[in-house]
Amino acid sequence: MKKEIRSYLSEWKHRLLLSDWNIIVEWHREMIPDHDKNAGGVITPDWRYMEATLHLNLGKMKLLTKQERERMIVHELLHCLTSPLKRTGTDQEELLVTRLALILVPHRVQ
């Protein structure tokens, strides 16, 4: 699964023009420390330095389909693009990146 996720990161960093960002991935077997127990992924971007740390909960990721995992990666990477906004971390930002991720990785009929 890590290989699959790394391929999504590589592809979507390129597609979202984030190739110049340094994104460090931290893998967690269970809950991501200091975050909601149900969080599958959390990214902490610093747009000033074009760096981010992406925390992934492998236990939660296993419960998702490949498409859902891809969409989650896209969702988290989109936070890098929205991070310069004045009010990051708001419900409005979450809605924005969720909708954009659905546009980029739409639901597909299996």
pLDDT (tens digit per residue) in 69-102: 999 999 999 999 998 876 656 778 888 888 888 8
Class of domain 2-104: alpha beta
Provide the pLDDT confidence category of residue 106 given band limits of 50, 70 and 90: confident
What pLDDT does 88 receive? 59
Tens digit of each residue's pLDDT (9 = 90 or more) over 26-62: 999 988 988 888 888 999 999 999 999 999 999 999 9
pLDDT at 57: 95
> Among 8-12, 22-26, 66-70, 82-86, which is the least confidently predicted range?
82-86
pLDDT at 105: 86
Q: Is 80 exposed, middle or buried (0-12, 13-18, 19+ CB in 10 A)?
A: buried
pLDDT for residue 108 is more than 70: no
What does the block give as tokens for 45?
């971007």
Domain residue limits, the chain: 2-104
Query: Are 37 and 31 a contacting pair, CB within 8 Å?
Result: yes
